[in-house]
Amino acid sequence: MDRYAKAIVGAGVKMISIAEPSTVMLAPKKFPVMVVDNLNKIFKDLNCWKCVHICGDTTKIYTYILEAPVDAFSFDQIMDMEKVIEIFPKDKVVIGNIDPVYILGKGSVEEVKDVVCDLSKNMRTYNNFLMGFGCSCTNDTPIKNLEAVSKWGRKN
């Protein structure tokens, strides 16, 4: 993976994001060895923006997450972004956390608008917040819902 990462950065990639979907199943003390050490290997000497998405409730691994060599963390939709961002250094970007299944995938445009506006309002005072999905959206997500995120995210 580290050879691949170096190759794509060398080809011009400006950001690498790694998904760790099963991390929360680890015992918290395993996180540094099984995840942070590997992120260090992959991200070492890369001149790009580095991001990690962690699925699920990551409350028990907060302190270990902060040891990871990344610029940004993307959090699952079940996390309370206001609580999450309070513990993160201001030089780390916190990304999240619109529900990709029930809001984006199955919700109405009005529901998407309400969620986007609420999240934007609640996070307005944080300069290190970036609105995003709690995970990857499904392949059948309605385009109109994705357009609503873009439209209402920019207005707020």
Q: What is the pLDDT of residues 59-102, one digit of tens each?
A: 888 888 888 889 999 999 999 999 999 988 999 999 999 999 99
Q: What is the pTM of this model?
A: 0.88
Task: Say how far apart CA 126 and CA 140 lie, in whole Å.
Answer: 32
The answer, yes or no, to whether residue 53 has pLDDT greater than 80, is: yes
Nearest to 75 by CA among 131, 154, 124: 131
pLDDT of residue 156: 64
Helix H or strand E segment including 38: helix 37-43
Beta-bridge mates of residue 130: 95
pLDDT of residue 106: 96
Task: Say how far apart CA 44 and CA 47 lie, in whole Å.
Answer: 9
Helix (H, G, I), strand (E, B) or coil at 25: helix
pLDDT of residue 100: 93
**In the chain, domain spans:** 1-70, 96-156
